[in-house]
Amino acid sequence: MAVQIQAIKKCGFVRQIAQQAINSASTLKDALIAAQTGHFVNTFARGRLVVSNSGGGQSGSFEISMPGKEWTQDNVFGLIEELIQMVDARVAAGTPDSSDPDLLNEMLAALIQDINAGLFPQSGVRQQMVDVSSLNFPATALGSGPGN
């Protein structure tokens, strides 16, 4: 399961990309694609520290929490793709993606509004884990009939 990035961090990320677009006089989508290209390398990754112990036929392990763990290559690449799709959706709805700083700030404000409203991603699978081990069905009731 992928680690989700908080909306506030997404807003900060897209704000930094928008500032880079203003500084380089490019559109937001061009800046996002450039950022995505820069992150699609094998050297950008966050590891994890796992402590394991075993003995007596049993073993256990746990992950030590690490600040910034969500900023993996996979998550950043996916976040940028999500932002590119958001820009495309805004452009289709009539918001211009321009290198003009005023129009770029308008696009940024619209994207931050979309992120905070939770509009993207528009579809996805949500999970919920449930512990059903305490239902305690007797094993004799499963297959005790004729022909089993």
DSSP for 67-96, written as a single string: TTTT--HHHHHHHHHHHHHHHHHHHHTT--
Residue 51 pLDDT: 59
Residue 2 pLDDT: 37
> Would the pLDDT of 109 be above 90?
yes
Which of 34-38, 42-46, 59-63, 108-112 shows the lowest mean pLDDT across its residues?
A: 42-46
Is residue 50 within a helix (H) or strand (E), and if so which, with residue range? strand 49-55
Other CB atoms closer than 10 Å to residue 52's CB: what's the count? 8
d(CA 121, CA 119): 6
Residue 139 pLDDT: 55
d(CA 76, CA 128): 24
User: What predicted TM-score, i.e. pTM, was given to this entire model?
Assistant: 0.60
More confident residue, 4 or 121: 4
Mean pLDDT on 4-19? 88
